[in-house]
Amino acid sequence: MTDQKPEQTRRSLDFEIPKLEDRYLLATVNFRRFNNTKIDRSANQMVKAAAKGGDGMGVYSKYLVPPEEMKPITQAYQTFMSYHYSVTAPMATGTQMLPIKLHDEHATKAQKARSDIEQAVSELVARWDGLVALAESRLGSLFAPNDYPKRDDVAQYFRFGVQYHPIAKSAQFQDIATLSEDIRADLVTQLERHYAEQAITATHHTIDKIVTAVGRKRVALTPDMVEVFRELNVADDPRLNTLLDEMERKLCAFDPDRVAGDSEYRKLYQEQAASLESKLRGLAQ
């Protein structure tokens, strides 16, 4: 969205970035699933033998069980991840910052996703022997028994969980007696600078989310969405807060059902949305 380096952006700010540890947790999602595709060596040998170019002309992978058998599991995961990314902002470490206010809601949805995944896995396990027999029939000479775990072992190939951690506080360095005062001060400065840069980067990602939301043709912005965007204004940029106030006044006044179903009414909404989208893009420069 912008080529400006975080450090350059940070120095140009005329407002103070609040401490991240007071407002956010780190949320890490862990998901593992059975790999339902496998490269078949014998088939690839035939492909290479038939292709004039030999190696590099393609790779043949087979489904071990029909892909629709995995769909309930992946759908439950994807549904949660769609929500997860909508209420979090990225951290450089690869995890996401979750507003503390949204922890309970997030944990409830994570528990539902885990329950849905475990139920889908349980149903898959109940069908497993039949699916392996079906695969043997369908794959013919490509079927390899060793590709399939035993039914009692299938569940261990699936894992889902969310871990929550506090963001480290710069004050923690004051408690390390073995460090000199100068080193402690330098560590605090480095950590606070790092967090400031992360806050700016995360806020840029939030602006991208808002631009996407405002630009939707048939989905009107709602007060709940605006509230989440406020929480994801990690840098607490007052300019973004002002635009969010304007969005709430101008866009949330529209009836979402009419925006979805009434083309003339939708045009009025889109006119307001286009103006705000332009202002958002200007803020991101």
Task: Please tell me the predicted confidence (pLDDT) of residue 49.
Answer: 65
pLDDT of 213 over the 80 cut: yes
Q: How many domains does the chain have?
A: 2
- Distance separating alpha carbons of residues 283 and 243, to the nearest angstrom: 9
Task: Please tell me the predicted confidence (pLDDT) of residue 91.
Answer: 86
| Residues 13 and 32 placed together within one structural domain of the fold | no
Taking the whole predicted model, whether its pTM rises above 0.85 is answered as no
| Residues 31 and 151 placed together within one structural domain of the fold | yes
- Distance separating alpha carbons of residues 128 and 133, to the nearest angstrom: 9
pLDDT of 7 over the 50 cut: no
Task: Please tell me the predicted confidence (pLDDT) of residue 5.
Answer: 42
Beta-sheet pairing, 159-166 with 89-90: unpaired
197 falls in which pLDDT band (50, 70, 90)?
A: confident
Among 143, 168, 193, residue at a domain's last position = 168
- Distance separating alpha carbons of residues 251 and 85, to the nearest angstrom: 23
11 falls in which pLDDT band (50, 70, 90)?
A: very low
Among 168, 188, 218, residue at a domain's last position = 168
Q: What is the mean pLDDT of residues 103-119?
A: 98
pLDDT of 239 over the 70 cut: yes
Of the listed ranges 106-115, 122-131, 198-207, the one predicted with least confidence: 198-207
Task: Please tell me the predicted confidence (pLDDT) of residue 55.
Answer: 57
CA torsion through residues 193, 194, 197, 202, sign: negative
pLDDT of 174 over the 80 cut: no
| Residues 95 and 211 placed together within one structural domain of the fold | no
pLDDT of 259 over the 60 cut: yes
Q: Token pair for residue 28?
A: 């890490």
Contact 216, 260 (CB under 8 A): no
| Residues 235 and 263 placed together within one structural domain of the fold | yes
Contact 113, 76 (CB under 8 A): yes
pLDDT of 150 over the 60 cut: yes
| Residues 180 and 87 placed together within one structural domain of the fold | no
Tokens 């949204």 map to which residue? 102
Task: Please tell me the predicted confidence (pLDDT) of residue 17.
Answer: 83
The terminus-to-terminus CA distance of the chain in angstroms comes to 8
Those residues with Cβ within 8 angstroms of residue 102's Cβ, 6 or more apart along the chain or in another chain? 87, 228, 231
| Residues 46 and 90 placed together within one structural domain of the fold | yes
pLDDT of 44 over the 60 cut: yes
Contact 20, 198 (CB under 8 A): yes
Q: Is 208 in a helix, a strand, or coil?
A: helix
The CA-based angle 112-117-123, given to 5 degrees, is 130
Q: Token pair for residue 76?
A: 């439950």
Task: Please tell me the predicted confidence (pLDDT) of residue 46.
Answer: 66
Tokens 């995995």 map to which residue? 70
| Residues 214 and 109 placed together within one structural domain of the fold | no
| Residues 279 and 164 placed together within one structural domain of the fold | no
- Distance separating alpha carbons of residues 69 and 124, to the nearest angstrom: 7
96 falls in which pLDDT band (50, 70, 90)?
A: very high
**In this predicted model, which residue has the larger pLDDT, 31 or 217?**
31
| Residues 162 and 232 placed together within one structural domain of the fold | no
**Alpha-carbon Rg for the chain in angstroms:** 25
27 falls in which pLDDT band (50, 70, 90)?
A: very high
| Residues 13 and 116 placed together within one structural domain of the fold | no
Of the listed ranges 13-27, 101-115, 184-198, 209-223, the one predicted with least confidence: 184-198
Contact 160, 77 (CB under 8 A): yes
Q: What is the mean pLDDT of residues 136-165?
A: 95
Among 118, 140, 168, residue at a domain's last position = 168
| Residues 280 and 197 placed together within one structural domain of the fold | yes
**In this predicted model, which residue has the larger pLDDT, 52 or 239?**
239
| Residues 154 and 206 placed together within one structural domain of the fold | no
9 falls in which pLDDT band (50, 70, 90)?
A: very low
User: What residue numbers bound the domain in which 210 lies?
Assistant: 1-19+171-285
Q: Indicate left, alpha or beta for 89 from its phi (over 0: left) and psi (-120 to 50: alpha).
A: beta
